[in-house]
Structure 1
Amino acid sequence: MMIRILVILLLSLCVVTSGSAGTLDRVRQAGVLRCGVASSGLGLSTMDESGVWRGFFPDMCRAVAVATLGKAEAVAFVEVGAENRFAVLRDLAVDVVMDATTWTQERERGQGVAFPVVYLFDGQALMVHRSLKIATLAQAGAASVCVVDGTMAASSLESWISRNGARLVVKRARSTEGALGAFFNHHCDLYSGHRLALHGQRAQNAPNAGDYLILPDVIAREPLAPMVRSDDPGWEGVVRWTVLALLVAEEKGVTSANAAAQKSIGDAETRRLLGSSPGFGQDLGLDNDWALRVIGKIGNYGEIFEQNLGRRSGLRIERGANALWNAGGLLYAPPLGG
């Protein structure tokens, strides 16, 4: 009995020590970033036939790995879902979650997590069978809607129905796969989720993508953000500035092709971004060239978006709110200088 108690105490001590150490230190000691991703659909996050995770969110994982470890391949992808994405983070099973999680005050306050920065501005929308001849949500009447339980989509849909006195019938499923399967098999008339995800899910999962229409209605705002534990502000800063560096790079015209050259010929902020100014990475616990590596190996924000979701992808989704501030969008980073 005494030996068993000692073993339990030792294991507990190991967990406490691991949890109290900084996440950046743990990542470096392990030589790998554990990144939680969900199967969100083509363009956002999906595993290809060879078992490699592809999409906007996996590329954000790779960006953080390059910033901290120097290698895009230094990522251990951990598949998460709506039912466990907060728990795996709190339980130290992953270092960061990169998926379509909506940043809310309630989640930040009650789940022990932090949202470093918005990386996609999205909205909740609905997809419908074209055969039903529904062109807008106002024409849906008492149609049934499939939605994933335990998500913002479910609660926002219920709120919208209550506010508008709509007659929609909500059908909840335990997983994205379950909800989409029910929808495509005609067990419900509509499916509701993040608008960006609907494009990829239609392209990837529909028997015939042309048979399904994404309605123009947007019923809730959905600012999507990476998720880290709330007890490590240093690591939160690393994730935040990795995303922001991608935005600065796009604004400055720094791409994966020209990043090395821009280090010496760009303006003062560009040179700082790319490591010409001493101490750029010091406050983050990184070296000066961390952003140069990220942009050179992964690309700037625009390159990542266009390759996975935009004009260079099969989805061809317009940037919209996810364009830079000087191109009609909502995205911009704070200045780098002091």
Structure 2
Amino acid sequence: MENSTSKNTSSTTVTGVLFSTAQNGKILFVQVLVGIFLYVNCLMIFTFFQKEAFRSDTRYILFAQTLFLDSTLMVMTDLASVGAYFQYHIPCISCVILCVLMDWVSNGTPLILVAMCLERYVAICMPLRHADISNPRSRLVGLLLVWSLSAIPSFIEFFSFVASASSTFWFSSIICSVSVLRLYSWHTSLRVSVSQLYFLALSAVIAFTYVKIMKAARSATCSNKRSTSKSLKTVILHTFQLFLCLIQFWCPLIESAVTEIDVLLFINVRYSNFILFLIAPRCLSPLIYGLRDEKFFAVLKCYLVCGMSKKSFT
């Protein structure tokens, strides 16, 4: 356990360097980015709850779920980042709970994206059965399934940590970081293995929906061409977004390897991973559904201009 303690101390030291005074510009940029992100998401969540048509449509419900998950993740990761920047120590138990919740919420977004692609597949390829399949009961079952599947990697990592951490470690105070849960190299290997399994499964589902919608687009009549083409573009955008989300599963392995090379390189790689694979893909959700969807954008624009354009509601 001395080895694990030294690793945690090293990790804490690196985290402290990561958010040192020299990184003022970077941490300020993150705060501005997160602030804009949360404002846009809150506006879209508010818009979602204002229309009954949105609250009863599966794709808008899934969209609202991504907004909720992404906003929650941004708040928690930002709190952890600011705490690390100011070298603020918190009880280990609180840090472990926060890290598990962040991991849980982070895993939920890729699964919701896959669910969105499946919903588009049913709407385009099985339009006559769409209303029967996309009912309140199936939506509830689907959301419960998403939340359950997203919890599996988090709890695997949590229980492996519990089995390895000493009793004294639980009562210590630390600078919180996700690396706290990875005391040994096999913790990272276990996490990467589970992530690879999820990566392959989700990629297979995305590929299936893409091929099916592509076939439907080729055989669609002129009246359905526009709808099918738009759904195909949505799946492509979700594929790109999902690809960025899934790369974050590989970040712990990459960062662990880089740490052995150079601390400064580790700092830059971890910051880049945070921006590119945590924040960036979650900024795409409002663009894919919030701005590309004509109905939702009309209502959103109405609230954006303080409700002066009442025609958007009619």
- Superposed pair shares fold, TM > 0.5: no
Larger strand share, 1 or 2? 1
Larger helix share, 1 or 2? 2
Which TM class, normalised by the smaller chain length? Answer: under 0.3
What is the TM-score with the length of structure 2 in the denominator? 0.23
What is the TM-score with the length of structure 1 in the denominator? 0.22
